[in-house]
């Protein structure tokens, strides 16, 4: 799909929604961006602010709208929800944001006629699962940003450790976007070599303690940023914009997005993140490959953790 005729709706004009719109405009990933917010004036202000700088970028139509503008959207981004407070886990947000997500889904589907729904609001795995079910759309038409940002953080930490360009580091954080997430060390590579082999061949010590430190740094990154500045929004805005680009341009990119499992690694009826091919149709398929028994067990435990919360909110 050509970005020249692309239309994206962003529901929620808070820090994350506005940062996503800003990133989309800077990266020229859409030609029409509509901001929808319960406080319409907030969406108007954000649209004006972005528009006033577009003469230095390109001609993009950014405006405040309402749910009727969902019609003909190629991607519908859901960012609206309560922000995570200091010390609060993403899963603790479930009861507070599921009710709002149900209302948003009902409003979307009144005007929906095409496109992929991309869930960013937290807890993203819970909301992705629920919106997939409420929407009645085929599996894969609703995806969540999941651990895409966590995977980017993981690559960043490894790039610092080994002093290499982050673009030469490839690795995945999978499972829940939250406390039970895990790195797939068996599928982590630098310049085509497994990270452990790379460390060995280039004289870099990489101990189990260092691996655990990186894992914990990535897992706690969001909480650390919230503690220091109150919210996270720049990196998730860029991450979301990149996923939208993939959806608009049918790029068949592999991202660790959240989708409803259908038996992969023995997991089903829950949304978690795994490396997934995404394009303008949504999530085409999950890329299953050989992981270690320990990683597979941890992945299943992560799915169980998300299911435990789902069991409490499914009937809302």
Q: Look up the CATH number of the domain holding residue 211.
A: 3.90.110.10
How far CA 106 is from CA of 68, 95, 100, 133, 202, in Å, comes to 12, 18, 10, 12, 55
Domain of residue 241, residue span: 148-313
Q: Of 144, 162, 179, which closes a domain?
A: 144
Asked whether residue 135 falls in the same domain as residue 252, the answer is no
Asked whether residue 76 falls in the same domain as residue 126, the answer is yes
* R_g (Cα) of the chain, nearest Å: 19
Asked whether residue 138 falls in the same domain as residue 156, the answer is no
Based on the structure, what is the number of domains in the chain? 2
Check residue 3 and give its pLDDT: 45
Asked whether residue 280 falls in the same domain as residue 297, the answer is yes
Asked whether residue 191 falls in the same domain as residue 95, the answer is no
Q: Label residue 108 by pLDDT band (50, 70, 90).
A: very high
Check residue 19 and give its pLDDT: 97
The end-to-end CA distance of the chain, in Å, is 36
Give the domain CATH number at 129: 3.40.50.720
Asked whether residue 31 falls in the same domain as residue 157, the answer is no
pLDDT tens track for 72-106: 999 999 999 887 666 766 567 788 899 999 999 99
222: its two tokens: 């969001």
Asked whether residue 211 falls in the same domain as residue 240, the answer is yes
For the annotated catalytic residues, the residue numbers are: 177
Q: Of 109, 144, 179, which closes a domain?
A: 144
Q: Has residue 5 got a pLDDT over 60? A: yes
Q: Is 304 left (phi over 0), alpha (psi -120 to 50) or beta?
A: alpha
Asked whether residue 160 falls in the same domain as residue 42, the answer is no
Q: Of 116, 144, 172, which closes a domain?
A: 144
Asked whether residue 154 falls in the same domain as residue 278, the answer is yes
Q: Label residue 1 by pLDDT band (50, 70, 90).
A: very low
Asked whether residue 306 falls in the same domain as residue 171, the answer is yes
Asked whether residue 15 falls in the same domain as residue 83, the answer is yes
């Amino acid at each position: 799909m050509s970005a020249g005729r692309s239309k994206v709706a962003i529901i929620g004009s808070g820090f994350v929604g506005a940062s996503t719109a800003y990133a989309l405009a800077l990266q020229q990933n859409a030609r029409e961006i509509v901001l929808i917010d319960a406080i319409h004036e907030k969406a108007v202000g954000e649209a004006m602010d972005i528009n006033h700088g577009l003469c230095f970028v390109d001609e993009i139509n950014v405006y405040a709208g309402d749910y009727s503008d969902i019609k003909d959207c190629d991607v519908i981004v859901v960012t609206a929800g309560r922000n995570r407070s200091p010390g609060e886990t993403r899963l603790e947000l479930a009861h507070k944001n599921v009710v709002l997500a149900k209302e948003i889904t009902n409003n979307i589907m009144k005007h929906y006629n095409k496109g992929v729904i991309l869930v960013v609001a937290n807890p993203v795995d819970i909301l992705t699962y629920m919106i997939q079910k409420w929407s009645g759309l085929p599996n894969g038409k609703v995806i969540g940003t999941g651990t895409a940002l966590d995977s980017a953080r993981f690559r960043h930490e490894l790039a610092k450790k080994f002093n290499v360009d982050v673009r030469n580091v490839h690795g995945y954080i999978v499972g829940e976007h939250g406390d039970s997430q895990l790195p797939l060390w068996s599928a982590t590579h630098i310049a085509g070599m497994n990270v452990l082999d790379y460390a060995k061949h280039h004289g870099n010590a990489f101990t189990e303690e260092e691996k655990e430190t990186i894992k914990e740094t990535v897992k706690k990154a969001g909480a650390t940023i919230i503690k220091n500045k109150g919210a996270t929004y720049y990196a998730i805005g860029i991450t979301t914009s990149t996923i939208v680009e993939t959806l608009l341009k049918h790029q068949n990119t592999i991202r660790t997005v959240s989708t409803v499992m259908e038996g992969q690694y023995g997991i089903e009826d829950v949304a978690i993140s795994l490396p997934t091919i995404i394009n303008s149709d949504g999530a085409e398929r999950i890329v299953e490959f050989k992981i270690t028994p320990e990683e597979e067990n941890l992945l299943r435990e992560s799915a169980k953790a998300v299911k435990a919360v789902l069991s409490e909110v499914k009937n809302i």
